[in-house]
Amino acid sequence: MVTTKNFLSGRAIAPKRIHRKTSIVELVEGAFLAYNAARLREACQLFTQKMLQPDVTIGMSLTGALSPAGLGMAAIIPLIENGFVDWIVSTGANLYHDTHFGLGLSMHQGSHQANDVVLREQGVVRIYDIFFDYHVLLDTDSFYRAIIAAPEFQRPMSTAEFHYLAGKYVAERERKLGLKKKSLLAAAYKHGVPIYTSSPGDSSIGMNVAAMALDGNRLQYDVNADVNETAAIVLEAKRSKGKSAVLIFGGGSPKNFLLQTEPQIQEVLGIAEKGHDYFLQFTDARPDTGGLSGATPGEAVSWGKIDPEQLPDTVVCYCDSTIAMPIFTAYALAKHRPRKLKRLYDRREQMMARLQREYESAKRGG
């Protein structure tokens, strides 16, 4: 029988006063008590209490202009270095703009109310309230065209392979310039974190690859390898008696690419599986418009993307990622010690071999 006590059993809202020495943990746990602040608290606690267990493989998707705002060096690199992220799906734009910092190029705070006609006349590019010189684009384009011309790029490869090789060159440029931990591409290369791009042609990196093809360059993105490698990562996590978690900033194509690993395993390859175990998303998209960015974990269950038994371990926080990510990262670093790196990039062949075996077995079994 449901009684009044059932509804009033939650924690009483009586937070301590915020003071000048309030820590990030005290702020999140003590003052984030309702609405999307509460969802952010729940996200932080789900991440640190369950998702960061040693047997959980964490995939993160990145959408929106996060790296231009400095979140690559401020938040994403610390997550990578501490073993809190094992593989990534990102827009190509985030990786392109991340490269600026690794090359010693600068972006600046500006005003979203600036006159864009005047900015164009002065050779200044605007991303809302971020300004940078047009030559930042040209210099970064030149860097990518130079490395793409190298012999090691003259073949088809997954976007993870491409970003690993590009990260090697960015890391070397950082070293020569005396820069420290500016580029997430360089950090992912050093820590064996594979980075995939769901739409590799949809960025300035892809545009330069296409331009080089006109000159006879033989680099091609192998999107089939991307689809199968990401599915293999998730299957390996499950078959190793572990769990799979998704950490989503924004939505869009990277979110779907991260989540479609389970339908690829179950629906397309015919391998018995249940879905991801943990789902955590920060988004400003509404679910009622039918867009993927706002699709809830409950809807994802109907596609086989999320294990229905794990719905209690899902959180959606409706918040700008540029607000949520720094708080989320600071809380995680304060609450959880570093995890051992999984270095999934180094294990791609092994994981693909398992996927191939299980696919062949599923076909034989009808």
Q: List residues with catalytic annotation.
A: 305
Residue 327 buriedness (CB in 10 A; 0-12 / 13-18 / 19+): buried
> Given the DSSP bridges, would you call strands 87-90 and 56-62 parallel, antiparallel or unpaired?
parallel
User: What sign for the dihedral angle of Cα 342, 347, 352, 358?
Assistant: negative
Q: Report the candidate in 271, 361, 275, 263 with the shortest Cα–Cα distance to residue 313.
A: 275
Residue 242 buriedness (CB in 10 A; 0-12 / 13-18 / 19+): middle
* Triad 132, 138, 143: Cα angle to 5°: 115
> Taking the C-alpha atoms of 238, 187, 67 and 181 in order, what is their torsion angle to the nearest 10 degrees?
150
- The two structure tokens encoding residue 182: 């500016």
- The two structure tokens encoding residue 135: 């030559």
Q: Cα 140 vs. chain centroid, distance in angstroms?
A: 22
**DSSP structure string for 12-53:** P--PPPP-TT--HHHHHHHH--SHHHHHHHHHHHHIIIIITS
What is the Cα–Cα distance from 284 to 194, expressed in whole angstroms?
Answer: 27
